[in-house]
Structure 1
Amino acid sequence: MTNYHFCVPPTLQTDFNFSKLLKTLFKRSCNILRDKKIIAGLFLLGCIGSTVKAQISPPGLGEANTAFWSAFGVKRQLDSLGKKQSLSYIAVGRKSSPDNDNPFSKQAIFVLNHEVYHSFAQHQQYSYAISYRRQPVYESSAPYEKEGLEQEIRLYGRYDYSFDLGKKWTLKNTIRQEFRKFFDPNFHAVEESFQLRTRIKSQLTYKLSSKNNQKLALSAEGLFSISYLNDPEPQWTKFGYREMRLGLYYMFAIPNSPFTMDIGYVDDLIRNSHSIAKGGVHYLAADVIWNLPYKKK
């Protein structure tokens, strides 16, 4: 019998260290954000401009060092004027354990989402959405094994106001209000009954080239919430700041196709978490969107 020996190149091994790459990207993006006045300005500005199409941003995935998020969406024009659109997507996320840096180590989340947008006035847009999320729950100490599963039904609405800063720069400010209802695997009550969460985000986009509609986007988002608990006794938590998400994305249209693609890096800074001492949870993210034109019925 012949024995075959296979050599796996180091670049294909699953245990290679992603954190160095992610932290390098984080440091470079922080060089842009190191002036606190820039971040403050992103949240305070808002006057005139045009709507910017956004990427499918990753959700929070809890304690980890690194994570990976991927999504596939279908965007459909709902009217001949281009003022109404819908976006439906399916997405999965994976993450590392707190004791390693492999972002593909374990399953983190499964998402189904449907959102309808309406550009009702110049530079202004609102949307409403429904989402289903299924997220494993892991032990908080080593060996970090899976100990349960949590389901979530989410309803949310958002309002966007954007304006141009010259010919190449666009700033979009967004406020988003969410209602999040939680269940166990059998749709029974869990410790946290529901949550009301407010998200405030600003995104600065730079048009790199008209060829393939290439853009760079830099974003900062603050998340604030209040929850109603079932256990240990029914009560409300205090409303307060929970986390900050910083993002850097490259967006482009795939040539000779109806598809667009977004590739990015996100740093999730969760208040009072173990990961924040290491600079947050570092994400690599990618999504593909299939753009469908309006068809008259």
Structure 2
Amino acid sequence: MKFTKVLFFCLCIVSQSVVAQISPPGLGQAHTAEWLAVGIRQDLDSLKKWQSMSYIGVGRKSNPTDYNPLDKSSILVLNQEFYYRFHKHWQSSFALSYRRQDAYTERYPYEHEDPPFEQEFRAYSRISYVLENARLKFVPTFRQEFRKFYTPTFTKEVESFQFRSRVRLQLTLNLDANKVHRLIVSSEQLFSASKLSAPSRWTSLAYHESRFVGYYSLAPKSLPFIFDVGYMANRLGTTSPSYVHYIALDVIWKNPFGHRTKQRTHVGNLE
């Protein structure tokens, strides 16, 4: 726990205006899973065109034969993303991420494999179109990822690296005029192609999973925090799909390093 706290505060430059919540990553086969994340969101300029989001997240999951989402450790995520709002309706971002994910056998008693975990370094970017009014925000997003995998000793994995494309539709409903209470729902589909080490070959680009997410978000005006609690259904596979059900909680600290507000009569509110 002390180690993760130190890593978290070492990240502290941080976040995002298109989405408030930190959605769970996919944790593979299970019945249920849980995701907990803590992040910092920082405006990097007075016009709020540039933002930074850093977070640390941990996930646990059940065995395929039970429903205890706290049964097994599953993932540690360190993520840094920068956002740029370059137009009233357009936003882009780029990010780097480190992930340490446990690997378990597919048969009872579902113990750790050898090696027991996989390391991943990820780089990705997004482009989002933002359409909003006082009550609703609709955001289609395309995200392109490059994922590089390593064993615990930083030797090559069987799956050397992967290109993955993600298409998401997200709708945010403001439940009050001050945007303190919000409901956020999204649907995301994931497609990927991988480079295998042994034998050396490429897999074909194909659909692999979908993620359906619903969140309640609370952003009290008296506190510099956003609190999000949500649910995700992760649909895995195509011919005989399976579902993993997630509960999720995250807390985001807004502008811990302060920011200046600058009046500009010819520039609209970017939030």
TM-score interval for Structure 1 and Structure 2 normalised by the shorter chain: 0.7 to 0.9
Superposed, which structure 2 residues align to 1:7-18 within 5 Å? none
Matched-pair identity in %: 46
Q: Distance in 2 between matches of 1:210 and 1:289?
A: 21
Superposed, which structure 2 residues align to 1:218-297 within 5 Å? 218-231=185-198, 233-272=199-238, 276-277=241-242, 280-292=243-255, 293-294=258-259
Unpaired segments ≥5 residues, structure 2: 1-16, 262-271
Read off the aligned partner of 1:170 and give its amino acid letter: K
Q: Distance in 2 between matches of 1:89 and 1:100?
A: 30
Structure 1 residue 211, shift from structure 2 partner: 4.8
- Is 2:114 aligned against 1:149? no
Q: Distance in 2 between matches of 1:273 and 1:253?
A: 41
SS class of match (1:262) = strand
Normalised by the length of structure 1, the TM-score is: 0.78
Superposed, which structure 2 residues align to 1:1-297 within 5 Å? 52-147=18-113, 148-164=116-132, 167-211=134-178, 213-231=180-198, 233-272=199-238, 276-277=241-242, 280-292=243-255, 293-294=258-259
Structure 1 residue 272, shift from structure 2 partner: 4.7
SS class of match (1:56) = coil
Give 4+ residue runs of structure 1 displaced > 4 Å after superposition: none
Work out whether residues 212 and 255 of structure 1, in 8 Å CA contact, stay in contact via their aligned partners in 2. Answer: no
Q: Distance in 2 between matches of 1:74 and 1:270?
A: 31
Q: Distance in 1 between matches of 2:238 and 2:105?
A: 18
Structure 1 residue 169, shift from structure 2 partner: 1.8
What is the RMSD computed on CA atoms of the aligned residues?
Answer: 1.6
SS class of match (1:267) = strand
Structure 1 residue 295, shift from structure 2 partner: 5.6
Going from structure 1 to structure 2, the CA distance change for 1:215 and 1:285 (only over 3 Å counts) comes to same
Q: Distance in 1 between matches of 2:25 and 2:110?
A: 21
SS class of match (1:109) = strand
- The structure with the greater share of residues assigned to helix is 1
Read off the aligned partner of 1:182 and give its amino acid letter: F
Work out whether residues 63 and 273 of structure 1, in 8 Å CA contact, stay in contact via their aligned partners in 2. Answer: no
Work out whether residues 182 and 217 of structure 2, in 8 Å CA contact, stay in contact via their aligned partners in 1. Answer: yes
- 1:36 paired residue number: none
Read off the aligned partner of 1:190 and give its amino acid letter: E
Q: Distance in 2 between matches of 1:54 and 1:125?
A: 14
Normalised by the length of structure 2, the TM-score is: 0.85
Going from structure 1 to structure 2, the CA distance change for 1:162 and 1:72 (only over 3 Å counts) comes to same
Deviation string 1:227-270 (CA, Å, 9 cap, x unpaired) is 00012x10000101010000111011145211101110000001
- 1:37 paired residue number: none
Unpaired segments ≥5 residues, structure 1: 1-50
Read off the aligned partner of 1:130 and give its amino acid letter: L
Structure 1 residue 104, shift from structure 2 partner: 0.3
Q: Distance in 2 between matches of 1:215 and 1:196?
A: 33
Aligned length: 241
Deviation string 1:145-198 (CA, Å, 9 cap, x unpaired) is 01121000000000010112x541221000000000000001110100000000
SS class of match (2:85) = strand
Read off the aligned partner of 2:127 and give its amino acid letter: Y
Q: Distance in 2 between matches of 1:256 and 1:222?
A: 37
